[in-house]
Chains A and B, each alone.
Chain A
Amino acid sequence: MAHIRFDNVVKRFGDVTVIPGFSATVSDGEFLTLLGPSGCGKTTMLRILAGFEKVTSGEVWLGDTLVSSPTVHVPPEKRNIGMVFQSYAVWPHMNVFDNVAYPLRIRRVPREEMRERVMRALEIVHLQGLEKRMPSQLSGGQQQRVALARAVVAEPRMLLLDEPLSNLDAKLREAMRFELKEIQRRLGITVVYVTHDQAEAMAMSDRIIVMNKGVIEQVAPPAEIYDRPKSRFVADFVGLVNFLEATVENSDGTIRIGDDLVLKVDLPAGGSQRVLAAIRPEHIRIGREGSGVGTVKGTVLRRYYLGDQIDYFVQTSGGEVRVTGNPLDGMFAEGEPVVLHIQHAFAFPL
């Protein structure tokens, strides 16, 4: 059953159309991510779902309830949603316990039960024993956990997360990805997550909605987004990609890049003779030998050693190509002739 449904939602601020039309569904227990660059409208969509913004037209349904339409607007406090804000929004004048207990106080939960549920929520986020601390005595990561505990304590129908990790340092951010996902699994709660960080989106989501300028570019599970991006924007935004101009040789998907690189791809609709081939650096193997379809000769222009991988920039007849090399496959020197083996490629209209 669709748990959340956006039906052609349009949002305008004055004369500016932020969302020209957004339709999507989120199923029960799903972890859905809205991914896109800043200003793409993802936060606006989340705020519409939370009830902080009204829709200009279209409808938002939570289960069987219409919560947003031009004539209906259920205010945020009546939606039974938990939310974690980018700035955490932990109230500085309340201690950890009172922060987490607040949603229960509003719901007039009896004292004993409240205590129990707050403690359970704090345990889930690993903050046991800190309930008497004031927020100013907590680290950023701990404040984040307080915000998370507060968002789930009242067992809301869904959890909204607005770039919750962007203010944490890199190590903690990475660790929190897995932890958030674990908590979501444990609670079985529906999560809508907003981020501009593709690694976060890939690591946690069941499905990702990639947005650009208010429009949905692609809705798919992470692997599909990565391996079969539907548009040039998605290919470029998620992961790294080499774009090379190519000529269509045959309608079965054979294309030619430069003089000597022939590839098989899924051709875009339209039947044009020229297409843009996209190849991810990690979908290319670098070696000294080989020929035939999917291989191309080149010369290493520059080499950057990163420890876990080596970045090569290789000159081919079709243009400069970036390749991710595995140190275990040996090193190639700058100026050395090499052969690139393209394992996977996609094509977009030029």
Chain B
Amino acid sequence: MRLRFDTKSVAIALAVAVLLLFGIFPIVLLVINAFVVDGQFSVNNFREVYASKSNLMAVWNTVKAAGLTMIIGTVMSFPLAWLVGRTDLPFKNVFRTLIVTPYMIPPFVGAIAWGYLANPRIGYLNQWIRALFPAIEQGPINIYSMGGMVWVLVLFYFPFSFLSISRALEKMDPSLEEAARISGASPLRVLRDITLPLTAPAIAAGALLVFVAVASAFGVPSIIGGQARLQVVTTRIISYVYVGTPEAMHEATALAVVLLALSVVVLWFSNWYLAKREYFTLAGKSTRPTLVELGRWKWPMVVLFTLICIVFAVLPVMALVMTSLVKTMGRGFAFNNLSLDVWKSVLQDAVTWRTLRTSLYASVLAATGGTLVGLLIAYLKVKTQIRFRTIPDFLATFTNATPGIVLALGLIIAFSGKYGLNLYGTFWILVVAYFVRHLSYAVRQAAAALEQVHPSLEEAALSSGAGWARVFKDVTIPLIGPSLVGGWFLVFMPSFYELTMSVMLYSSRATPVGYHLYHLNSYASPQSAAVLSVLILILVLIGNLLMRWASRGKVSL
């Protein structure tokens, strides 16, 4: 089909233009800015930035935190995924759901929760340990350290790895493992000779995903690392942006470009490696894998999983709820120390509602725009024959892979009025940021759904005399509706509690709730932060249930 000037082409062209303007232009501009000083090409920026010892330290800390999280997360994920996917572990479906609960909790909320749990002075865990062992006078756990930071990062980023490995295990043809069993190999031998090598690409992909996500993370390093005086690249960039001078912006840009390069290289490598190594081993009819019997290990494993789920899912939520209900932090969760005062004051505070509204409006706009543009980009990719039709989809993936902090910096540079459009300091820059960063979720949902719609369904409508817009409205949209709704929520949810970009893009006129929470926790009132965290968790839970319901179970977090 040739590109012609009809409704379809115009709509698609507009969608691509929006993506190019708001997504690609800022990133390109950022890269150019990093290399151009006073109109001249130069690497001076980088030389200056990386001559600074604290910047080097921040890079080192980033690599260290991301590397450790990746290793620990992966080493932990594989056995968990295998036990849940390949053994007769009782209650495994419950465990599977609980274990990835951190996936639904915004990481910075998790960091706040772990602050309450393992603050060396007043953390609940430390209070309990000291109560149990009076000999211990202080600590003993200090979350505000590199170890503590990695711990929290592992908890909130390992689901990337866990889900990647779980999916690979589910996708693998069970007869590959059965063939090894019948060849004489014991279950453990099968694990070593067949399962592990065949899931290696998924393990590697998951690990790299964790690395990139952690390296671009801001919430956890800022909340946990900030107290420990640990600087990472993202927190360093924010400090420079807050200084705001042209020199500081140059330094921020130079740091951001390195972070961007890191993400792009890692993701490119991961895709290339996967494309080369992924075995499409889905075939055969016995989709129910033979389960390895745990025998006498069965109940010890149940106990272990229960403990893990308590630590991963129950403890942080409990800490938030408890903190939101006590009168004075540090006096513990005792009956005479309970009160609803903090809840009252947060719920009566106009700022709470203003920031919630800001986030709600911005996310609804971003999600609606994302669904529309995402649908058109997906349509271009799946349903047309135009050359380069997959490029917009790729670009959306790219803006999604770009660390939020880098994207936000690019948006500041691009839309501060220098190039004709001044969005910085307004509500709209939040909308743009959320839209661009999460667009690829909507594209992916729409593309997957469109691939299921056989061309003949649309051709039948076209041959009945309907125009393209009519066919789209009458045939295509109803068929892919549930997936579109799912895609809408996938953009909406992370936008609603977004922190990293919000920290850079908020203004007094438009403060999103993520930033408000961060501010409360860091500077104002940790207890109010607990209340707001619980509120956000409730909203996330409702959103997730709504998404499941509205997409008819097709999409869930």
Contact = CB atoms under 8 A, between A and B. Distances in A.
A87 B178 CA distance: 11
B287 to A, nearest CB: 11
Interface in A113-169: 147, 150-151, 154, 160, 167
A75 interface: yes
A91 B173 CA distance: 10
B183 A85 contact: no
Contacts of B348: none
B178 A52 contact: yes
B421 to A, nearest CB: 51
A76 B178 contact: yes
Interface string B252-296: 000000000000000000000000000101011110001000000
Contacts of A80: 184
B505 to A, nearest CB: 47
Interface in B181-225: 181-186, 189, 193-194, 197-198
A38 to B, nearest CB: 8
A106 B185 contact: yes
A297 B284 CA distance: 50
A81 interface: yes
B182 A107 contact: no
A134 B175 CA distance: 18
A103 interface: yes
Interface centre among B183, B186, B194, B286 (most CB of A within 10 A): B183
B284 A76 contact: no
Contacts of A43: 285-286
B178 A92 contact: no
Interface centre among A77, A78, A81 (most CB of B within 10 A): A77
Contacts of B189: 106
A103 B198 CA distance: 18
Given A75-B181, A76-B182, A93-B198, A87 B284 contact: yes
B542 interface: no
Instruction: Bin the interface of chain B by size.
Output: 20 to 34
Contacts of B175: 85-87, 89
A199 B208 CA distance: 51
Nearest to B200: A93
Contact of A83 (B179, B186, B284, B290): B179
B513 to A, nearest CB: 46
Contacts of A147: 179
Contact of A77 (B176, B182, B194, B285): B182
Contact of B178 (A82, A89, A102, A167): A89
Interface string B98-117: 00000000000000000000
Interface residues of A, number: 32
Interface in A41-60: 43, 47, 50-53
Given A87-B284, A89-B284, A52 B290 contact: yes
A87 B281 CA distance: 9
B479 interface: no
Contacts of B180: 91, 102
Contacts of A50: 178, 182
Nearest to A79: B182
Contact of A85 (B193, B198, B279, B284): B284
A83 B183 CA distance: 8
B183 A154 contact: yes
B81 to A, nearest CB: 19
Nearest to A81: B182
A93 B197 contact: yes
Nearest to A73: B293
B44 to A, nearest CB: 48
Contacts of B181: 51-52, 75-77
A8 to B, nearest CB: 24
Contacts of A51: 181-182
A51 B186 CA distance: 13
Contacts of A81: 182
A173 B178 CA distance: 24
Given A43-B286, A86-B285, A91 B179 contact: yes
Contacts of A77: 181-186
Interface string A87-107: 101011100000000110011
Nearest to A80: B184
B284 A103 contact: no
A81 B179 CA distance: 10
Contacts of A75: 181, 186
A83 B182 contact: yes
Nearest to A100: B183
B284 A86 contact: yes
A86 B285 CA distance: 8
Interface centre among B181, B184, B189, B281 (most CB of A within 10 A): B184
Contacts of B197: 93
Nearest to B279: A92
Contacts of A76: 178, 181-182, 290
Interface string A5-47: 0000000000000000000000000000000000000010001
A320 to B, nearest CB: 36
A85 B176 CA distance: 9
Interface in A180-195: none
Contact of A91 (B186, B194, B285, B290): B194
A103 B279 contact: no
Interface string B151-179: 00000000000000000000001011011
Given A85-B284, A106-B184, A92 B198 contact: yes
Contacts of A82: 182
B179 A89 contact: yes
Contacts of A83: 178-179, 182
Interface string A292-313: 0000000000000000000000
Given A47-B286, A92-B281, A85 B178 contact: yes
A47 B185 CA distance: 17
Given A52-B290, A75-B181, A77-B181, A89 B173 contact: yes
A103 B290 contact: no
Interface centre among A87, A147, A154 (most CB of B within 10 A): A87
B148 to A, nearest CB: 39
A85 B186 contact: no
Contacts of A154: 183-184
Given A78-B184, A147-B179, 4 more contacts: A47-B286, A76-B178, A151-B182, A154-B184
5 contacts: A47-B286, A85-B284, A89-B179, A91-B179, A92-B279
Q: Closest 3 A-B residue pairs measured CB to CB?
A: A87-B284, A87-B283, A89-B175
